[in-house]
Amino acid sequence: MIKNDFWITEMAAQGMISPFEPKLIRRLENNLPVISYGLSSFGYDIRLSPQEFRVFRHIPGKVVDPKNFNPENLEPVRLHEDVNGQYFILPAHSYGLGVALEKLQVPDNITVLCIGKSSYARVGLIANLTPAEAGWRGHLTLEFSNSSSADCRIYANEGVVQLLFLEGDPCAVSYEKRRGKYQDQPETVVFSRV
């Protein structure tokens, strides 16, 4: 069963989402519009951290290998700022990694699905569907593909993906119990591990 705003609020008070915004924010105090973040009816829109964003660059003769990942394949991207806010630029037809500002602590009977927001999808920016399994903790590393032929801004401190919380019977072995390789991720991009 998908969990609602009442449940999300109750679990956030117990540390499931931190920091937690108890309503959907669409404008800042100065009336500046933002890509929405915070609590929605059946989900929670998390923000992109301004700490780090990296983009895959083509390096002639190099192959990206998830079993033997070379961090040199990812180039740090500069954080920009103007009247619309802070943002990174994801070049046309490229792929990048960012990190969630919010830290999660997923209960043992919940799996979280991280899905893209329509504001970004409508300009060609696709968020990879990412799960956070029962018992997982940390800041999600988020994956984005710019499928358009234009460079795209991706705003820091604003909504970037929505989390959906799915409840099931408690599992025999949670992510924590199996000592998953992405447990306790910091607020930095975590590279592929095997």
Active site (catalytic) residues: 143
Q: d(Cα 31, Cα 72) in Å, to the nearest integer?
A: 40
Task: Return the number of other C-beta atoms located less than 10 Å from residue 63's C-beta.
Answer: 8
How many other CB atoms sit within 10 Å of the CB of residue 65?
A: 11
Q: How far apart, in whole angstroms, are the C-alpha atoms of residue 2 and residue 182? A: 24
d(CA 143, CA 18): 21
How many Å apart are CA 156 and CA 51, to the nearest integer? 9
Both structure tokens of 87: 């943002």
Residue with tokens 């990190």: 99
